[in-house]
Amino acid sequence: NAAAPLLEVRGLGAGYGQVSVLHDIDLTVGTGEAVVVLGANGAGKTTLLRAVSGLIGHTGEIRVDGQVVSNARPDQMLDRGLSLVPQGRGTLTALDVEDNLRVGGTALANRGEVDDEIDRWFGVFPRLAERRKQVAGTLSGGEQQMLAIARALMSRPRLLLCDEISLGLAPLIVQELFETLRTVSVESGTALLMVEQNAELALDIAARVYLLEVGEVASSGTAASFRENNNIRQAYLGY
């Protein structure tokens, strides 16, 4: 269905056991679109990405290309082109950089494709190329985050789900990472759904924004409209 958005979430609810975290979430991401979800600690941002990527169950509906894929497994979502960069640097710390990327590419057709893709991401992240035989656990925080992103990109996703990739990183590193992501997104048409507390930088690369407050979408709109809204600016941008 060419007219349908890449990702469409309708009336989504999710939580953990008896604890319900998300309520009636509506959200869409278009092909190639960059969308950011802002919200305070505990608003449910991570839970949202977990539900969308199939790591936890949910109520309501998730559609990809107009097709219902509710409660699919993570590998099924990956097959449909959704790839998650989990919070806290999703690397396999005991494996070296190159093997981490290989694991990310297991869905690709053959060894040659995997090698091509590894070369591609080494080109985008030269610091990873220099450390290809280094064990991931000994990389700096910023390098691990680069690796987590490159690993998630190895499957050639159409939508990259990023869970607070700025967390715990120096501002300059974060800026560099965001710029790289923006370039990747524009050049390969990869859509982004980013969950962030760093509103300032996220608004720079996002076209649209959702504001999550205690498990609900409190408001949504264009990044420009969010910058112009005084209340939101003070609460999330601090000026």
DSSP 3-state of 89: coil
Task: List C-alpha distances in Å: 43 to 138, 149, 197, 217.
Answer: 32, 23, 11, 10
Identified binder of ligand ATP from the candidate list 35, 36, 38, 46, rule CB under 6 A: 46
Binding piece for ligand ATP, criterion CB under 6 A, among 14-22, 100-108, 123-131, 170-178? 14-22
| Binding status of residue 105 toward ligand ATP by CB under 6 A | no
CB of 95 to ligand ATP, least distance (A): 25
| Binding status of residue 47 toward ligand ATP by CB under 6 A | yes
Distance CA 59, CA 20 (A): 11
CB of 180 to ligand ATP, least distance (A): 23
| Binding status of residue 18 toward ligand ATP by CB under 6 A | no
Listed residue (46, 33, 35) closest to 158, CA to CA: 33
Q: Which residues, 152 to 211, sit near ligand ATP by CB under 6 A?
A: 197
Amino acid identity of residue 68, one-letter, is V
Binding piece for ligand ATP, criterion CB under 6 A, among 38-46, 107-115, 185-193, 216-224? 38-46
Identified binder of ligand ATP from the candidate list 21, 52, 124, 203, rule CB under 6 A: 21
End-to-end CA distance of the chain: 43
| Binding status of residue 16 toward ligand ATP by CB under 6 A | yes
Nearer to ligand ATP, 47 or 166 (CB): 47
Identified binder of ligand ATP from the candidate list 8, 35, 45, 77, rule CB under 6 A: 45
- What secondary structure, in 3-state letters, does 24-88 show? EEEEEECCCCEEEEEECCCCCHHHHHHHHCCCCCCEEEEEECCEECCCCCHHHHHHCCEEEECCC
Q: DSSP H helical segments within 87-197, as ranges? A: 97-104, 111-124, 126-130, 141-153, 171-188
Nearer to ligand ATP, 101 or 162 (CB): 162
User: For binding to ligand ATP (CB under 6 A), which residues are involved?
Assistant: 16, 19, 21, 39, 41-47, 197
